[in-house]
Structure 1
Amino acid sequence: MSDTDMNVYRELQEHLDKMPVGFPATESGIELKVLKHLFTPEEAHLALKLNYMPDPLKKIYRRVKKTGISIEELEILLDEMYEKGLLNYGKSTSEKGVEEKFFANAPIVIGMFEYQLGRLTKEFIADMKQYFEEAFFEKEWNLTGIPQLRTIPIGQSVEHEQNIANYDDLRNIIENSGGPIGLAECICRKSKDILGDPCKKTDMREICFSFRSAAEMYHEKGLARLISKKEALDILEKVEEAGLVLQPGNSQRPMCICCCCGCCCEVLTNQKKFDEPSRFFATNFQAEVDSELCIGCGICVDRCNMDAITIVDDKSEIEKGRCIGCGACVPTCPQDAISLRKKEETIVPPKNTMGTYIAIMDKKAELARMEKS
């Protein structure tokens, strides 16, 4: 590989790092190995001409036509990159019936990593894991205080007298999804299966939901099947019984919902390594124990995905700095000693995914100004 080809991966890393969900560098350079798994040098050069906001094919062509590529060749290359899970894609039809394609760079998460569902190798999984551990969560995910995902409680964990907003009610989100619902295998659990370390919480693998255009995209790529609302709600019930953490996209109309565990999920496993990881989660609830009712059976300890519960003097104690308010511990308590309580300050998520990305970009700009001053 020529020096020019080697340099393009560093240029691409720096380019992708300017997106709302960035791609920060590491001391080891593992991020370059990740990019080489995903992009050929030709694809990397083209990705440098794309934005995180979708651009029409003709606009992209104006940026690259000096290279001698025809618009037909460009369209083929962009289509191939989309099929490989490197780009996001959309299309629109004009009043005259003319179809126009749009392309944008996909973020590393949620995006390129998840789109490799049908292309996983042990080497790629190992390199992604190293990248997550070295840089992504500390330097990117936790940077702005506006995560891509939020945590909402499982249905049985919130007492009826507590008002719960529609965006904190997963059944409401599914019922009002407004379009196709996709169901895909969990990329994290599938990765662990390939590495020979299967999930300790559940045997379910088809467990990741997508909605509307995201569902159509996953289905088009062969990564998800389309399901009814009834099947989605039935799966949700099994997810809650298994004690998994519900993490939809951090908006009032999420495009996806992850059903996560503390042994496989890259978000939970990496965040657990920090002190007081709850500060990095967008959640409106927190668990508390009634010590007079608690008998110290330890069921809640096993159910907790964040290692937030311990038994002290035969009573369960919850470490507030680790509790993310998922409610997995509540419905299985034989004494009804654990409950979820709303936090005093409510976090209202952005209205949609683009609103989340704009909020992240605004916060990054604010942090950059503060660093310069």
Structure 2
Amino acid sequence: MKTKGMMIQQLAEHLGYADSEYLSKLLDHLLTEEEATLMTNLPDTPKNLTLKLDLDEEYVNCRLRDLFMRGLVLIDSHVAGEPIYLVDNNAGRFMDMILFDPRYQEEDEDFYSLWRDFFNNELVYAPRSPEKLPFRIIPVDENIEDHRTILPYEQVSEIIKNAKRIAVQNCPCRTREQRCSAPLETCISLNETAEYMITRNIGREIIYSEALHILKSAEEFGLVHETDNTDNPTIICNCCSCCCVFLRAITVFQQEDVIARSRFFAQFDKEKCILCFRCLARCLFKSITFVEGQILIDSSKCYGCGLCSTTCKGGAISMVLKENALSIPHKGDEFMQGFTNIP
């Protein structure tokens, strides 16, 4: 018979971090022995688990539903009307599904310290494929030189407009890191992902106009828009460089190829520049410098977020489509693809 420690080790290994002392401590804190038993026997349906573990069916259903509501398990699909529960194998998404939930704000500092240690010492170094990056930067809608060049699924206002259902929830990254005063309620989920967030009571349903207001406020605060790197976005994050997964990896850990750049770059017209220097403060990627009396933009460091262009008093910066802009992958690799099913 497996001990709780053995089951925690099995779950940590399933998430790809068998040797992580941080993740093991978190799992041990989050789960009872009975819950660990259920999770290490997934994926499966409640009925099958009832037979396999010789447990009461109502008890199994209630425990799995509770684990789902706490973000510890997901639902893969349904068979004959029964949900097939599973444990995510993506450690980053597993972390977010927990930290999206306001109930964990009641936890003490040790809880968040463990999540910070797990991310900053282990998860941030997870191998990534440059050919299959999960998220991408979206340019701010304003100051795009030719709007005919922007696609509906890389324009935040159009992404929101085309959504059938919208919800907003707290940013899991700023909840974890707690390093700045940026607003928390800024993560916008769409369609089935919105329904998942609302079902778990971690997302607040909003309408188009409020979503636009949240996005505009995020831009004014200097947050960068990010979304799934597909033509079927399911979530829009508004990210700071000190807390958020991908921007922190770039700006603090000097990592490259962690997030896809937008298909636009900042084009600078020195004749219009009045040296207001606002762009220097706005650029999170340090692609803008002031050298020998003039502003310079290093296009190799520009991620195409557009924040510099929106506060340029002289109108010297516009966003232009790159000559060899890569196409955006077709739907199928969304952040929550296949995991937004509800009981």
Instruction: Give the alignment's TM-score, normalised by structure 2.
Output: 0.84
SS of corresponding position for 1:317: strand
Instruction: Quote the Cα distance in structure 2 between the aligned partners of 1:222 and 1:125.
Output: 21
Match runs of 1:152-167 below 5 Å:
152-160=138-146, 162-167=148-153
Work out whether residues 137 and 271 of structure 1, in 8 Å CA contact, stay in contact via their aligned partners in 2: no
Distance 1:324 1:44, change over 3 A: farther
Match runs of 1:333-348 below 5 Å:
333-343=312-322, 344-348=324-328
Pick the aligned partner of 1:349 from 329, 339, 342.
Answer: 329
Amino-acid identity (%): 29
Tell me, yes or no, if structure 1 residue 227 matches structure 2 residue 206. Answer: yes
Instruction: Quote the Cα distance in structure 2 between the aligned partners of 1:93 and 1:9.
Output: 28
Unaligned runs of 5+ in 2: 339-343
Tell me, yes or no, if structure 1 residue 7 matches structure 2 residue 6. Answer: yes
Instruction: Quote the Cα distance in structure 1 between the aligned partners of 2:6 and 2:219.
Output: 47
Q: Which amino acid aligns with 1:167?
A: Y
Work out whether residues 47 and 105 of structure 1, in 8 Å CA contact, stay in contact via their aligned partners in 2: yes
How far residue 25 of structure 1 moved from its aligned partner, in angstroms, is 4.7
SS of corresponding position for 1:150: strand
Distance 1:334 1:286, change over 3 A: same
Q: Which amino acid aligns with 2:286?
A: D
Tell me, yes or no, if structure 1 residue 30 matches structure 2 residue 22. Answer: yes
Instruction: Quote the Cα distance in structure 2 between the aligned partners of 1:157 and 1:189.
Output: 28
- In structure 2, the residue matched to 1:109 is 92
Instruction: Quote the Cα distance in structure 2 between the aligned partners of 1:41 and 1:322.
Output: 48
Instruction: Quote the Cα distance in structure 2 between the aligned partners of 1:79 and 1:172.
Output: 35
How far residue 163 of structure 1 moved from its aligned partner, in angstroms, is 0.8
Distance 1:49 1:10, change over 3 A: same
Q: Any runs of at least 4 consecutive aligned residues in structure 1 with deviations exceeding 4 A, and if so which?
A: 90-94, 353-358
Distance 1:50 1:36, change over 3 A: same
Work out whether residues 222 and 307 of structure 2, in 8 Å CA contact, stay in contact via their aligned partners in 1: yes
Work out whether residues 157 and 328 of structure 1, in 8 Å CA contact, stay in contact via their aligned partners in 2: no
Match runs of 1:287-326 below 5 Å:
287-326=266-305
How far residue 144 of structure 1 moved from its aligned partner, in angstroms, is 5.3
- In structure 1, the residue matched to 2:167 is 182
Work out whether residues 291 and 316 of structure 1, in 8 Å CA contact, stay in contact via their aligned partners in 2: yes
How far residue 100 of structure 1 moved from its aligned partner, in angstroms, is 3.2
How far residue 330 of structure 1 moved from its aligned partner, in angstroms, is 0.7
Distance 1:80 1:304, change over 3 A: same
Work out whether residues 177 and 243 of structure 2, in 8 Å CA contact, stay in contact via their aligned partners in 1: yes
SS of corresponding position for 1:6: helix
SS of corresponding position for 1:188: helix
Distance 1:256 1:356, change over 3 A: closer
Number of residue pairs the alignment of both structures matches: 331
CA RMSD of aligned residues (A): 2.9
Pick the aligned partner of 2:114 from 127, 144, 152.
Answer: 127
Pick the aligned partner of 1:169 from 146, 155, 164.
Answer: 155
Instruction: Quote the Cα distance in structure 1 between the aligned partners of 2:300 and 2:55.
Output: 54
Work out whether residues 133 and 258 of structure 2, in 8 Å CA contact, stay in contact via their aligned partners in 1: yes
How far residue 87 of structure 1 moved from its aligned partner, in angstroms, is 1.6
Instruction: Quote the Cα distance in structure 2 between the aligned partners of 1:300 and 1:30.
Output: 39
Q: Deviations over 1:47-78 (max 9, x none)?
A: 23334xxx6544xx25x633222333221211
Work out whether residues 229 and 328 of structure 2, in 8 Å CA contact, stay in contact via their aligned partners in 1: no
SS of corresponding position for 2:167: strand
How far residue 320 of structure 1 moved from its aligned partner, in angstroms, is 3.6
Q: Which amino acid aligns with 1:258?
A: C
- In structure 1, the residue matched to 2:250 is 271
SS of corresponding position for 1:49: coil
Unaligned runs of 5+ in 1: 18-23, 359-373
Tell me, yes or no, if structure 1 residue 47 matches structure 2 residue 39. Answer: yes
Work out whether residues 228 and 234 of structure 2, in 8 Å CA contact, stay in contact via their aligned partners in 1: yes
Instruction: Quote the Cα distance in structure 2 between the aligned partners of 1:130 and 1:348.
Output: 33
Instruction: Give the alignment's TM-score, normalised by structure 1.
Output: 0.78
- In structure 2, the residue matched to 1:362 is none
SS of corresponding position for 1:155: coil
How far residue 272 of structure 1 moved from its aligned partner, in angstroms, is 1.6
